[in-house]
Amino acid sequence: MRKMWRPVLIGAMVLAGVATAATPASAATTNRTGICNKGAGYNAYLEFPYRGITSFGVAPGTCWSKTLAAGSYEPVKVWAVSSGSWRLLGETWIHSANHNVIRTSGSGAWGAYYWYSTS
């Protein structure tokens, strides 16, 4: 009689593992906005004008992200800073319910540029 329960128990454990594994991945992709600095010779910053906040300086080869309350469509400004010189790389609009990633590249604040992706 014991052997009859074994397939049911194993099947239940497999299903529970699949459900558990799927949850963190989907949860991690929403409500986050971040920047990854792939460039050299400058720190990158994100500014959220509607919220009155700015990220800390993101050094080359590092990333920063922030969880935002879902439901807003708002601008984000991307800055490059080198030797005290600030350069606005541009502005993009994000939806805070999405996973928003801004990446910078280039060399020095004046050679820097960015691109934006969302999921």
Considering Cα of 44, then 49, then 50, then 53, what sign does the dihedral take?
positive
pLDDT at 3: 52
**What is the arithmetic mean of pLDDT over 29-37?**
88
In the predicted structure, residue 15 carries a pLDDT above the cut 60: no
Question: Percentage of the chain with pLDDT > 90?
Answer: 68
**pLDDT (0 to 100) of residue 10:** 45
pLDDT value for 71: 85
Average pLDDT, the chain: 82
Phi-psi label, residue 34: left if phi above 0, alpha if psi -120 to 50, beta otherwise: beta
Q: What is the mean pLDDT of residues 59-87?
A: 94
